[in-house]
C-alpha cells in the first residue's frame, strides 16, 4: 500500500468520524426538540380538555423534580422562594434567633438548644422554655416547619415571642431582634494532650480555611506537635475551600484536585496558590462513611501527596462537582458538571448514576474494576469509590436500642424534661452523668412509647411472618414459642444492660443544653474510642 492510498484511507476514515459525530449531534438535538414539543402539546391539551382546573405549579414542580432525579441526587432545581434554603446549604447562614426547637403536633414550641452568642441566648431563652405564640400567632396550630419559618426573617427585624418560662412559670412577651446566624464549620479546636492538637470540622462553607488557619496557629502556641483534623461525618461543601485548606500544609503550586466533565472546557487543575504555614507537622485525618465530597478531596490529596496519615473507615464516595446556574424567574439549578480526581488520578465516585439496573437502582463500582495508582512516594492506592484509610480503625457498634432512643427522640425529650427540673449542672470538665442519674432516665424511658426490640427480636418477628406466609408457623409453634421466650426482654432490663452505651449520649446532650455546643463536643471526645485507638497506633 503506497503513501497516497494510506492518505486516502485516513481522510475517508476521518470524514466518516466527522459525519458520525454530526449525525449523533443532530439525532440528539432532534430528540430534545421532539420531547420539548410533546411536553408543550400535552400541557396545552390538558389545559383545554381536563375536567378540572390544573394545579399547574404542583404539576410542573413534580415534573422537573422527577426529571432531575433520573440524573443524580445532587442535581436539583431551586425556585425563587427556596433561595433562603440554598443560602443555608451553601453558607450555613440564615436570618433568625439561633435556636433548635422541639415541636409536637398540637403542642407549643419548646426551645431545645440555643446557640452560644445567639439572640436566643442574649434574650434569655433556655432549654425548656415554651413558645406559646410567635407575633401573636399560637404555635399549637403550627407544624414544626411553619414554626421555624415564622421565627426566621431578615436580620435586624423584630419578632415577638410569648414565652412561658421554664424556671418560674411566668408568661412574658419577649421581643427579639433577628440576626444573621452562622453555624460554624469548625465546631471545636483544642488540645487532646500536651502535644496533640485537635480540630473538628463539620463543613466546607465560605472562609472555613481561614478558621482552620487561625485555630492551627492558636494550637501551635499551646505546644501542639501533631494535628488531628477530624472530618468524620463531614458531607463537604465548597471545593475552593478544600483547596485552600490543603494550601496551608503543602507546598505552593501543588496539584491537589482535577475536575473533568463531558466538554474539554470542563477540565481544570486546582493547585495551591499561597505559601503554606506548616509543611512538616505530622497530621492525622480522621474519616468515615459520612465523609464526602470536599472531605474526600482533602483526605485524598493528603494521602496522594504523602502529607498526612488517613485513619478511620472508608469514606462515602461522592466525587461529583456541582455548579449553580441562574434560571428564569430568579430560580437556580444546582447541576453536576464534572467528576473530580485526586492528584494521583483517582476518581472517588462510588456510584454510577448514568447506568441504572432494571429496577432503577444504581450500583457501586465493583472491586474487580478498580485500578492501582501511586502516591508521591510510590505507595499503592486504589480508586473505585471513596478514600480507603491508610490505617483502618474500627468504629464502635451500637445496639438497636440506642438507635431507637436517639433517632426516636427519647433522649432528646428526656434532656428537655431534665432541664425543666434542674437549673444548672457542674462545669463541663467536672460534669458526669452518674448511675443515680441513670435511674432517673430509666424511670422516664419506661413511660415512653418506642420500639425497644433487640435486633434478634426484630429478626424473630420477621421470621414468624415469613413462616406464616408459608403456612409453617403452626407446625413450628413449640419451637417458635421456646425461641421467643429466650430472646424476649422487657424494656427496663434492656435499658439497664445498655447503660454504658446510653450514658455518653445523655451526658453530651445535657452538656450542650447547659454549656452550649463546644461543651457537647468535649463530652463526645471523652467517649471517642475510635479516636483513642487512632492516636495509639
pLDDT tens digits, residue range 212-221? 999 999 999 9
Q: Where are the alpha helices (DSSP H) in 372-498?
A: 400-407, 410-421, 435-445, 455-469, 477-487, 491-497
Among 147, 259, 293, 295, the one annotated catalytic? 293
The HSE-up count of residue 425 (CA atoms within 13 Å, CB side) is 24
Task: Measure the CA–CA gap between 256 and 250, rounded to whole angstroms.
Answer: 9
Q: What is the pTM of this model?
A: 0.88
Mean pLDDT taken over the chain? 90
Average pLDDT over residues 104-131: 94
Q: What value does the CA radius of gyration of the chain take, rounded to a whole number of Å?
A: 28
Three state DSSP letters for 97-159: CCEEEECCCCCCEEEEEECCCCHHHHCCCCCCCEEEEECCEEHHHCCHHHHHHHHCCCCCCEE
Residue that is last in its domain, among 132, 148, 182: 182
Identify whether residues 381 and 335 lie together within a single domain: yes
Active site residue 304: yes
Average pLDDT over residues 254-258: 97
Identify whether residues 138 and 198 lie together within a single domain: no
Active site residue 318: yes
Pick the closest to residue 393 from 289, 486, 508 (CA basis). 289
Identify whether residues 205 and 256 lie together within a single domain: yes
In a domain, 450, yes or no: yes
In a domain, 328, yes or no: yes
Among 304, 383, 390, 528, the one annotated catalytic? 304
- Three-state DSSP at 81 gives helix
Read off the pLDDT band of 3 (50, 70, 90): low
Question: Number of structural domains, the chain?
Answer: 3
Task: Measure the CA–CA gap between 275 and 508, rounded to whole angstroms.
Answer: 39
**Residue 381, domain CATH:** 3.90.226.10
Active site residue 451: no
Average pLDDT over residues 67-96: 84
Identify whether residues 253 and 311 lie together within a single domain: yes
Task: Measure the CA–CA gap between 318 and 5, rounded to whole angstroms.
Answer: 50
Residue that is last in its domain, among 392, 408, 439: 392
Joined grid coordinates for residue 235: 458531607
In a domain, 479, yes or no: no
Read off the pLDDT band of 28 (50, 70, 90): low
Per DSSP, the residues of 172-204 read EEEEEE-EEEE--SEEEEEESSSSEEEEEE--B
- For the ranges 5-14, 213-222, 263-272, 465-474, the maximum mean pLDDT occurs at 213-222
Torsions phi, psi for 232 (to 5 deg): -65, 130
Joined grid coordinates for residue 346: 483517582
Identify whether residues 250 and 388 lie together within a single domain: yes
In a domain, 76, yes or no: no
Identify whether residues 375 and 493 lie together within a single domain: no
Three state DSSP letters for 207-232: CHHHHHHHHHHHHHHCCCCEEEEECC
Three state DSSP letters for 340-383: EECCCCCECCCEEEEEECCCCCEEECCHHHCCEEECCCCCEEEC
Pick the closest to residue 261 from 198, 323, 196 (CA basis). 323
Question: How do residues 367-394 score in pLDDT, each as one tens digit?
Answer: 777 889 999 999 999 988 899 999 999 9
pLDDT value at residue 27: 67
Residues in contact with 515: Cβ distance below 8 Å, sequence separation at least 6, in sequence order: 425, 427, 428
Task: Measure the CA–CA gap between 537 and 136, rounded to whole angstroms.
Answer: 58
Identify whether residues 424 and 532 lie together within a single domain: yes
In a domain, 67, yes or no: no
Identify whether residues 252 and 351 lie together within a single domain: yes
In a domain, 446, yes or no: yes
Among 92, 215, 318, 498, the one annotated catalytic? 318
Task: Measure the CA–CA gap between 225 and 265, rounded to whole angstroms.
Answer: 43
Cβ atoms within 10 Å, residue 449: 7
In a domain, 169, yes or no: yes
pLDDT value at residue 266: 80
Identify whether residues 428 and 354 lie together within a single domain: no
Identify whether residues 363 and 271 lie together within a single domain: yes
Identify whether residues 105 and 193 lie together within a single domain: no
pLDDT value at residue 43: 87
Residue-number span of the structural domain to which 429 is assigned = 400-454+489-536
Identify whether residues 285 and 209 lie together within a single domain: yes
In a domain, 16, yes or no: no
The answer to whether residue 361 scores a pLDDT higher than 80 is: no
Residue that is last in its domain, among 346, 367, 392: 392
Degrees (nearest 5) of the Cα angle 265, 345, 340?
50
Q: Find out whether 203 and 232 touch, Cβ atoms under 8 Å.
A: no
**Residue 173, domain CATH:** 2.30.42.10
Amino acid at each position: 500500500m503506497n503513501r497516497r492510498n494510506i492518505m486516502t484511507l485516513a481522510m475517508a476514515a476521518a470524514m466518516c468520524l466527522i459525519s458520525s459525530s454530526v449525525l449523533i449531534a443532530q439525532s440528539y438535538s432532534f430528540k430534545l426538540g421532539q420531547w420539548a414539543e410533546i411536553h408543550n402539546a400535552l400541557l396545552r391539551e390538558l389545559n383545554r380538555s381536563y375536567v378540572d382546573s390544573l394545579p399547574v405549579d404542583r404539576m410542573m414542580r413534580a415534573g422537573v423534580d422527577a426529571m432531575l432525579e433520573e440524573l443524580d441526587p445532587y442535581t436539583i432545581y431551586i425556585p425563587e422562594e427556596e433561595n433562603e434554603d440554598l443560602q443555608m446549604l451553601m453558607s450555613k447562614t440564615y436570618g433568625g434567633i439561633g435556636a433548635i426547637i422541639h415541636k409536637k403536633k398540637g403542642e407549643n414550641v419548646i426551645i431545645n438548644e440555643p446557640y452560644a452568642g445567639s439572640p436566643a441566648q442574649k434574650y434569655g431563652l433556655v432549654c425548656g422554655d415554651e413558645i406559646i405564640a410567635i407575633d401573636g400567632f399560637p404555635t399549637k396550630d403550627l407544624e414544626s416547619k411553619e414554626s421555624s419559618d415564622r421565627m426566621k426573617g431578615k436580620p435586624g427585624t423584630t419578632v415577638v415571642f410569648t414565652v412561658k418560662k421554664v424556671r418560674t412559670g411566668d408568661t412574658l412577651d419577649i421581643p427579639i431582634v433577628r440576626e444573621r446566624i452562622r453555624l460554624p464549620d469548625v465546631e471545636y479546636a483544642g488540645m487532646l494532650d500536651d502535644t496533640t492538637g485537635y480540630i473538628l470540622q463539620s463543613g466546607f462553607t465560605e472562609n472555613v480555611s481561614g478558621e482552620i488557619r487561625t485555630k492551627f496557629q492558636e494550637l501551635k502556641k499551646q505546644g501542639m506537635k501533631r494535628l488531628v483534623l477530624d472530618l468524620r461525618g463531614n458531607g463537604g461543601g465548597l471545593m475552593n475551600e478544600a483547596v485552600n485548606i490543603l494550601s496551608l500544609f503543602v507546598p505552593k503550586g501543588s496539584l491537589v484536585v482535577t475536575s473533568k466533565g463531558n466538554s474539554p472546557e470542563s477540565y481544570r487543575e486546582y493547585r495551591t496558590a499561597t505559601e503554606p504555614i506548616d509543611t512538616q507537622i505530622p497530621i492525622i485525618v480522621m474519616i468515615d462513611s459520612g465523609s464526602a465530597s470536599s472531605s474526600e478531596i482533602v483526605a485524598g490529596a493528603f494521602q496522594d501527596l504523602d502529607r498526612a496519615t488517613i485513619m478511620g473507615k472508608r469514606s462515602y464516595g461522592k466525587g461529583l462537582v456541582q455548579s449553580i446556574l441562574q434560571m428564569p424567574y430568579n430560580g437556580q439549578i444546582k447541576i453536576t458538571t464534572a467528576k473530580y480526581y485526586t492528584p494521583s488520578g483517582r476518581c472517588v465516585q462510588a456510584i454510577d448514576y448514568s447506568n441504572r439496573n432494571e429496577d432503577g437502582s444504581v450500583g457501586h463500582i465493583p472491586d474487580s474494576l478498580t485500578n492501582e495508582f501511586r502516591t508521591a512516594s510510590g505507595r499503592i492506592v486504589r480508586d473505585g469509590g471513596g478514600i480507603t484509610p491508610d490505617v483502618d480503625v474500627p468504629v464502635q457498634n451500637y445496639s438497636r436500642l440506642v438507635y431507637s432512643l436517639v433517632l426516636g427522640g427519647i433522649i432528646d425529650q428526656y434532656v428537655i424534661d431534665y432541664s425543666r427540673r434542674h437549673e444548672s449542672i457542674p462545669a463541663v470538665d467536672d460534669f458526669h452523668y452518674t448511675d443515680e442519674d441513670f435511674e432517673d432516665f430509666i424511670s422516664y424511658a419506661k413511660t415512653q412509647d418506642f420500639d425497644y426490640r433487640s435486633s434478634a427480636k426484630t429478626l424473630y418477628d420477621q421470621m414468624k411472618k415469613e413462616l406464616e406466609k408459608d403456612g409453617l408457623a403452626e407446625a413450628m409453634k413449640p419451637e417458635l414459642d421456646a425461641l421467643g421466650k429466650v430472646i424476649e426482654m422487657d424494656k427496663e432490663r434492656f435499658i439497664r444492660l445498655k447503660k454504658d452505651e446510653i450514658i455518653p449520649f445523655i451526658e453530651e446532650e445535657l452538656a450542650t443544653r447547659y454549656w452550649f455546643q463546644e461543651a457537647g463536643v468535649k463530652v463526645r471526645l471523652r467517649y471517642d474510642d475510635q479516636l483513642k485507638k487512632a492516636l495509639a497506633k
